[in-house]
Amino acid sequence: MSRAFSPEFRMPTTTARALAEPVEPIAPAVTCADVFDRLLAEPGLLNMPVVDDGRPVGLVSRQDFMLVYVRLYGREIYGRQPVTALMNRTPVVVDANASCDEINARLVDLDGSSPLQGFIVVENGRYIGLGSSVELMRVMAEINMRRAEELERQRRRAEAASESKTQFLAGMSHELRTPLNAIIGFADLMRLELFGKIQPECYVEYVRDIHGSGVHLLHMINELLDMAKIEAGRFDLHEDVLHPAEMCDEVARMLRQSIETARVRLDIRVAKELPRMVADEQQIRRILVNLLSNAIKFTPAGGRITLSVAERADGGLELAVADTGIGIPPDKIEKVLEPFEQVENSFTRTRAGTGLGLPLTKAMVEAHGGWLRIESVLDKGTRVRAFFPAERVLRTSATNVA
Ligand SMILES: Nc1ncnc2c1ncn2[C@@H]1O[C@H](COP(=O)(O)OP(=O)(O)O)[C@@H](O)[C@H]1O
Ligand SMILES: [Mg+2]
C-alpha cells in the first residue's frame, strides 16, 4: 500500500449514505393504530421515519411509542390520532454526505433523546434512508482499526528512517573523522615546529587556530553522533571494574591546561577506601569531563570547583561537580538537559559548545541505571550530581578481582 506513504494520503471517509438503510417511511397522517400494527408485524423495526412529501418531519421510536400506546386507555386516546402525536419531532437528520465522525459527534451531543434512535439520512433535504447507531458503531470501530493500522505503519516507517539515519551517521562518522584526524595531526606537528621553524611568524598562530578548530569540530561531531545513537536506542555499555578515585585524578590531569587558563581552582574530594564500580569506563570518563568542563567554562576567574565521589547510605555512589560560577536560572534547569539547549547571556555567548553535553551525560548516567540532578543558584554556583545505584558498586574485600 504505497499510497499510504504519500503525505496527502487521508483515511477513506465513510459517509452517511453508506449507513442509510431504506426503511419504508410513514406519512404524518398515518394513524397510531396503523403504526402499532406495523410495529407488531415487523419486530426488527426499532425506529420508523415520518416523512412528508419526501421531507423528514419526525421519528417514531418503537420503545417510546409502545410505552405510551399500550398504557391503559392508550388505544382509546391515541388510536385515531395521527402518528405525529407520538413521534419525536426533533430527530437527528444528517446529510447523505456527512462523515461518520460528524454523525458520531451529533449523536454524542444529543441531550434528552436516546442516541439509540439512530438518525435520518437526507439528500437535498429529502429522505433517503434510516441510519442505526449500531451500524454506525460498527463502521466507527472499523475506521478506528484502520487508523490504528495506519499509525502502526507510520511508526514502523519512522523507525526504519531512524535506523537508516543512524547507519548514515555511522558511515559519515568515518568519512569525517579520517580527514579531520589528518588535519589535527599535521597541524599539531607544525604547531610544535618539529621539523623546523615556521616562517613567517604569523603562520604559527594560524596553525594553532587550525589545530584548535579541528579539535573542536571533532568534539562536536562526536557529540552529535552519540546523540544520534541515543535517539536510535543504540547506546551500549561496555562494562568494566573501575576505581572512581583513579578516574577523577586522570580526568583532572586531562583538564589541567583549561583549569589553568580559566584561572579557577579544582579540589578533588574522594572518600578513602571508596569501593570500585562496575561501569563503562569511557562513559564515566566522559561524564566527568562533561561536568567538569561545564564548571570550568561557566566559572569566572578566581572561582572554585569541587569534584567529589562518596558512598550513599543506600549503598550507591554519588559523583558531584560543584562550582562557584554564574549559575543557571531556575526556569532553565530542566531545559538544559534537553539537546541543543543553552542559556543565553553575555557570558555564555563567548563559550563555544553544542548544548549536547548535559543531555548526553544524563543519558550515560541513566544507561547505568542512575540519575542526574542539577541544583543551581544564579550568580552563586551550580552543583550537578550523578547517582549510581548499589548494583553498580562492587563490594568485595579482595583487590585482585578486576
Ligand atoms: N556548571 C554550569 N554553570 C552554569 N551554567 C551551566 C553549567 N553547566 C551547564 N550550564 C548551562 O547549560 C547549558 C547546556 O550545557 P551542555 O549541555 O553541557 O552544553 P554546552 O556546554 O555545549 O553549552 C550551557 O550552555 C549552560 O548555559
Ligand atoms: Mg558542556
User: pLDDT digit string (tens) for 254-288?
Assistant: 999 999 999 999 999 998 789 999 999 999 999 99
How far does residue 245's CA lie from ligand 2's centre (Å)? 22
Domain topology for 2-131: CBS-domain (3.10.580)
User: pLDDT digit string (tens) for 214-223?
Assistant: 988 888 888 8
Q: Flag whether pLDDT at 23 surpasses 80.
A: yes
Q: Which CATH class is domain 239-394?
A: alpha beta
Alpha-carbon distance of 39 to 42, in angstroms, equals 5
322 lines ligand 1 (CB under 6 A): no
User: pLDDT digit string (tens) for 321-363?
Assistant: 999 999 999 999 999 998 888 887 766 555 567 788 999 999 9
Q: Which of 286, 288, 297, 305 should be mutated for ligand 1, with most atoms under 8 A from CB?
A: 297
Alpha-carbon distance of 91 to 97, in angstroms, equals 18
Alpha-carbon distance of 374 to 356, in angstroms, equals 15
Placement of cell 451529533 in the chain: 106
353 lines ligand 1 (CB under 6 A): yes
How far does residue 354's CA lie from ligand 2's centre (Å)? 7
Confidence band for 1, pLDDT divided at 50, 70 and 90: very low
328 lines ligand 1 (CB under 6 A): yes
How far does residue 326's CA lie from ligand 1's centre (Å)? 10
Q: Is 226 helix (H, G, I), strand (E, B) or coil?
A: helix
223 lines ligand 1 (CB under 6 A): no
52: exposed, middle or buried (Cβ count in 10 Å: 0-12, 13-18, 19+): middle
Residue 326's Cβ-side half-sphere holds a number of Cα atoms within 13 Å equal to 17
pLDDT of residue 200: 86
Ligand number, closest to the Cα atom of 340: 1
Q: Which of 216, 226, 286, 294 should be mutated for ligand 1, with most atoms under 8 A from CB?
A: 294
Beta strand spans in 260-341 (E): 265-270, 276-280, 304-311, 317-323
Q: Which of 336, 338, 375, 385 should be mutated for ligand 1, with most atoms under 8 A from CB?
A: 336
302: exposed, middle or buried (Cβ count in 10 Å: 0-12, 13-18, 19+): exposed
Closest CA to 207 of 195, 182, 185, 190: 190
